[in-house]
């Protein structure tokens, strides 16, 4: 039976459910930004004790979330009810949910806020750097998963069924290489599994694979892509921010996995398997 792939809303629900334990906070909630971008609707809650916030519409510039939405960056207060620097349109709902300290972190897509993730405490104390780091990392992970899903859907939509067989095969190779690269970077296991299955489907569609494709690490693939573009080891090291010896180690490891003995053969083999464009 094919496993269920979580929708963006389901991923957001799981994120806020997991955040209190991950970050050591009392509550988390979140919502998507409306299409005009002038408000957000809080829909995902970490518990029933946050019911006063359910389906609350937060306008841009209003409250903490509205401030973060307008600024396009995180905002926080150590005591919501007494905080300066924000409006107090939603004090009634926040007080009913017994929340005091709060942070709001926007999740952006294509340069614009797409969702808002909140973390909250029921004591009036500032968020520690550790808690803030965990919350930001979780929001960025969700942001990356959204970007990956959106990009894959875009690339699939761009495939031209009217093109020649050679063109279609090249498009499938390019798409498979991109999907494999993206799968190695996403945090959500369901999305990663979906991308891996999609990569296998594009491989089956091409119809010219020669057995199983060795698994290369994302950093190895990035190195090979640079080499394929004609870069020297020193150039690759500079562009990827690593040592030249590390570049050589990545290439040596990739050659061993692919069963080849030089850079040219490595690039050719990786292209044939659709690992790089």
Q: What is the pLDDT of residues 16-33, one digit of tens each?
A: 999 999 999 999 999 999
Rounded Cα–Cα distance for residues 242 and 233 (Å): 10
Span 85-103, average pLDDT? 97
Burial pattern 27-41, b for ≥16 Cβ within 10 A else e, equals bbbbbbbeeeeebbe
Q: According to the model, what pLDDT value does residue 111 have?
A: 83
Report whether pLDDT(4) > 60: no
Q: According to the model, what pLDDT value does residue 170 have?
A: 61
Least confident of 27-31, 74-78, 209-213: 209-213
Report whether pLDDT(81) > 80: yes
Of residues 90 and 157, the one with the higher pLDDT is 90
Q: What is the mean pLDDT of the chain?
A: 83
Q: According to the model, what pLDDT value does residue 277 have?
A: 72
Is the pTM for the entire model greater than 0.85? no
In three state form, how does the secondary structure of the chain look? Answer: CCCCCCCHHHHHHHHHHHHHHHHCCCEEEEEEECCCCCEEEEEEECCHHHHHHCCCEEECCCHHHHHHHHHCCCEEECCHHHCCCCCCCCHHHHHHCCCCEEEEEEEEECCEEEEEEEEEECCCCCCCHHHHHHHHHHHHHHHHHHHHHHHHHHHHHHCCCCCCHHHHHHHHHHHHHHHHHHHCCCCCHHHHHHHHHHHHHHHHHHCCCCCCCCCCCHHHHHHHHHHHCCCCHHHHHHHHCCCHHHHHHHHHHHHHHHCCCCHHHHHHHHHHCCCCC
Q: Where are the domains of the chain?
A: 8-151, 161-206, 210-277
Q: According to the model, what pLDDT value does residue 8 have?
A: 85
Whether 88 and 66 have beta carbons less than 8 Å apart is answered as: no
Q: List the one residue out of 219, 217, 226, 230 whose CA is nearest residue 257.
A: 217
Q: According to the model, what pLDDT value does residue 172 have?
A: 61
Of residues 6 and 22, the one with the higher pLDDT is 22
Q: According to the model, what pLDDT value does residue 3 have?
A: 44
Span 169-174, average pLDDT? 62
Least confident of 12-21, 176-185, 194-203: 194-203
Q: According to the model, what pLDDT value does residue 161 have?
A: 55
Which residue has tokens 């690593």? Answer: 242
Report whether pLDDT(231) > 90: no
CATH assignment of 210-277, among 1.10.630.10, 2.60.40.290, 2.40.37.10, 1.10.10.10? 1.10.10.10
Rounded to the nearest 10 degrees, the angle between the axes of helix 218-228 and helix 233-240 is 130
Task: Using pLDDT thresholds of 50, 70 and 90, give the confidence band for residue 200.
Answer: low
The CATH code that applies to domain 8-151 is 3.30.450.40
């Amino acid at each position: 039976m094919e496993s269920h792939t979580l929708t963006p809303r389901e991923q957001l629900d799981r994120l806020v459910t997991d955040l209190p334990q991950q970050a050591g906070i009392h509550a988390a909630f979140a919502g998507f930004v409306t299409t005009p971008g002038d408000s957000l609707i809080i829909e995902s809650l970490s518990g029933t004790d946050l019911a006063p916030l359910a389906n609350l519409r937060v306008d841009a510039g209003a409250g903490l979330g509205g401030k973060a939405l307008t600024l396009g960056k995180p905002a926080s207060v150590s005591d919501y009810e007494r905080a300066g620097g924000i409006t107090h349109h939603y004090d009634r709902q926040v007080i009913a949910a017994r929340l005091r300290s709060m942070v709001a972190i926007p999740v952006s897509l294509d340069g614009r806020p797409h969702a808002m993730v909140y973390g909250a405490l029921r004591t009036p104390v500032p968020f520690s750097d550790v808690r803030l780091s965990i919350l930001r990392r979780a929001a960025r992970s969700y942001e990356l998963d959204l970007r990956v899903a959106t990009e894959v859907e875009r690339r699939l939509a761009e495939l031209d069924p009217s093109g020649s067989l050679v063109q279609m095969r090249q498009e499938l190779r390019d798409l498979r290489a991109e999907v494999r690269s993206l799968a190695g970077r996403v945090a959500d296991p369901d999305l990663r599994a979906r991308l891996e299955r999609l990569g296998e489907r594009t491989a089956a569609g091409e119809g010219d694979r020669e057995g199983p494709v060795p698994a290369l690490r994302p950093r190895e693939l990035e190195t090979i892509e640079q080499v394929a573009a004609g870069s020297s080891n020193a150039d690759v090291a500079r562009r990827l921010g690593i040592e030249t010896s590390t570049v050589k180690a990545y290439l040596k490891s990739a050659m061993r996995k692919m069963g080849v003995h030089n850079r040219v053969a490595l690039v050719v083999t990786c292209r044939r398997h659709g690992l790089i464009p």
